[in-house]
């Protein structure tokens, strides 16, 4: 599906995403604004990347994901590359998002 999306015009991607949001989320969150723009990468079709996820080589320092996960001032980082155990997985991406949400909730404590 990602490769197919890479071939669509940006206006079509925006229309399709807006339709999906309207059909699935808007009924339960009526005030949810629709997106106003999109950015589609072409990593899936790029012969040098063929998609994208983190990869730790044997020479990568083992604490690299933890270093990537450290906040930079008020900028927080989530994504599978920042998960110390489940890097390179969707599960790691989801958990890292939850980690950063928890960090925001507890920010002032």
Query: 50: Cβ–Cβ under 8 A, 6 or more apart, which residues?
Result: 43, 44
Give residue-wise pLDDT tens across range 39-50.
888 888 888 777
SS3 category, 12:
helix
Place of tokens 């930079």: 72
Q: Average pLDDT of 1-25?
A: 90
**Dist. CA 1–CA 3, nearest whole Å:** 5
> How high does pLDDT run on average in the chain?
89
43: burial class by Cβ within 10 Å (0-12, 13-18, 19+)?
A: middle
pTM equals 0.55
In the chain, % of residues over pLDDT 70: 100
- Residue position matching structure tokens 């989801």: 94
Mean pLDDT over 83-94 rounds to 90
The pLDDT tens digits for 45-68 are: 888 777 777 888 899 899 999 999
69 vs 90, more confident = 69
Q: Which of 29, 80, 18 is nearest to 55 (CA)?
A: 80
Q: What is the pLDDT of residue 45?
A: 80
């Amino acid at each position: 599906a990602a490769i197919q999306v890479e071939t669509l015009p940006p206006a079509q991607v925006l229309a399709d995403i807006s339709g999906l949001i309207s059909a699935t989320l808007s009924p339960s969150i009526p005030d949810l604004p629709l997106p106003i723009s999109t950015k589609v990468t072409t990593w899936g079709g790029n012969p040098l990347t063929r998609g994208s996820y983190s990869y730790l080589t044997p020479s990568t320092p083992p604490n690299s994901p933890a270093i990537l996960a450290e906040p930079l001032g008020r900028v927080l980082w989530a994504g599978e590359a920042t998960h110390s155990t489940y890097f390179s997985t969707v599960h790691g991406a989801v958990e890292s998002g939850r980690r950063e949400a928890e960090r925001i909730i507890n920010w002032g404590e």
